[in-house]
Structure 1
């Protein structure tokens, strides 16, 4: 779909595009209105995908800011040093409940609570 959008908007000519094949079949059957519906469907799908990705990135940024308030710096640094050679892929938050989640698409992180770290027998 992305290739077809580039084809329509920028004139980029891919070697093979399934949507172009569908267009030629619709034309050969005399259903030219189907071409417009297919174009609308493709553009709607691409727009909706971009919109949803944007919403997810915004929500991830928002929750990351909220979790920063509860960040336990000492445990975060210790666990990253011990298990991840100093990279900042682990974040420990102050919470007695055992919580372990992953978060992020472009820059994934593992979020652990102090409750899960203590119940695992760390230290």
Structure 2
């Protein structure tokens, strides 16, 4: 839903910009806007849209560079023999596990098109085999669903559409539910919730969990939604209630989106639409 909303907003921006620079977008013969091409209003709106698009492109480049940075760092710290052994131990995870040498608790899914599970050897020193398996299955869910790519898309849209007040809350709500679904998958695969619950409790008490600058678009096991995840494990028969109330910011966001849609509709010449589709 978030991505569809973002694509619609980008479509509006593209149509506006193409028309405003006189490119006869979609053969509408400059009938898209109620303002003239060289008008001050059109210039201001076009400038705002250009800034938004530039911010989105900048974020794409930034996240790609961060991906390359962390891949290089993890490759340098990789424990090759341990990586080979664990992939043999868990063949159903399709050779997607990378073990790195690090005393901190690192467990994440990294990569957009071909995601990998990156886990530090600290887990094997402080957690049982069943707990590590639960963590790997949790991250495997993110790999299968390509969640890092989805997180990248919504992060870019969030940067570009920061003027929508409740969008950030909606993104956090979405990420929380992705973590809950990944936990459900791990519990279903292991046929119980004991190992995952034990791992989460240890993480909640640990001071060795490190979050890094790449966590915005990375499926990170020790995320901020641990309380909801523990609640799901303790009370599996009850649906977890993740709050996303009808607050003032949400009302303002709905109004902004409504006005945005009205503005876009008003840009289309009704006579052109009738002529194009009815005759």
After the TM superposition, which of the residue ranges 92-101 and 6-15 deviates more from structure 2? Answer: 6-15
CA distance in 1, matches of 2:97, 2:25: 42
- My pick for the range that moved more, 3-12 or 112-121, is 3-12
* Aligned alpha-carbon RMSD (Å): 3.1
- Matched residues in 2 for 1:98 and 1:14: separation? 56
> Using the alignment, how far apart are the partners of 2:61 and 2:88 within structure 1?
33
Pair 1:53-2:60 in alignment: yes
SS in 2 for 1:91: strand
* TM superposition shift of 1:118: 3.3
Distance 2:27 2:117 in 1: 40
Q: Against the structure 1 CA distance between its residues 120 and 84, is the aligned structure 2 distance closer, same or farther, given a 3 Å change threshold?
A: farther
Flag the 1:11–1:87 CA change in 2: closer, same or farther, 3 A: farther
Decide whether aligned partners of structure 1 residues 14 and 63 sit closer, same or farther in structure 2, where only a CA change above 3 A counts: farther
Higher relative contact order by CA 8 Å / sep ≥ 6: 1 or 2? Answer: 2
- 33-42 or 72-81, which moves further after superposition? 72-81
2:41 aligned residue (34, 40, 59): 34
Q: Deviations over 1:72-98 (max 9, x none)?
A: 112222333433536342211012333
Query: Alignment partner of 1:96: what SS?
Result: coil
Which residue number corresponds to residue 78 of structure 2?
71
Q: Residue 13 of structure 1 aligns to a residue in which SS?
A: helix
8 Å contact kept, 1:72–1:94: yes
- In structure 2, stretches of 5+ residues that fail to align are 1-8, 131-279
Distance 1:106 1:37, change over 3 A: farther
Give the alignment partner of residue 124 of structure 2, picking from 112, 117, 121: 117
Residue deviations 1:18-43 (CA, integer Å, cap 9, x gap): xx5xx43xx39xxx422111111112
Number of matched residues? 112
- Structure 1 residue 13 and structure 2 residue 22: aligned? no
SS at match of 1:85: helix
Q: Equivalents in 2 of 1:110, 1:42: separation in Å? A: 37
Q: Work out whether residues 93 and 113 of structure 1, in 8 Å CA contact, stay in contact via their aligned partners in 2.
A: yes
TM-score after normalising by structure 2: 0.34
Structure 2 Cα separation of the partners of residues 14 and 73 of structure 1: 57
53-62 or 90-99: bigger deviation: 90-99
Q: Per residue, is there more strand in 1 or in 2?
A: 1
Question: What runs of 5+ residues in structure 1 fail to find an aligned partner?
Answer: none
CA distance 1:93–1:42, change in 2 (3 Å)? same
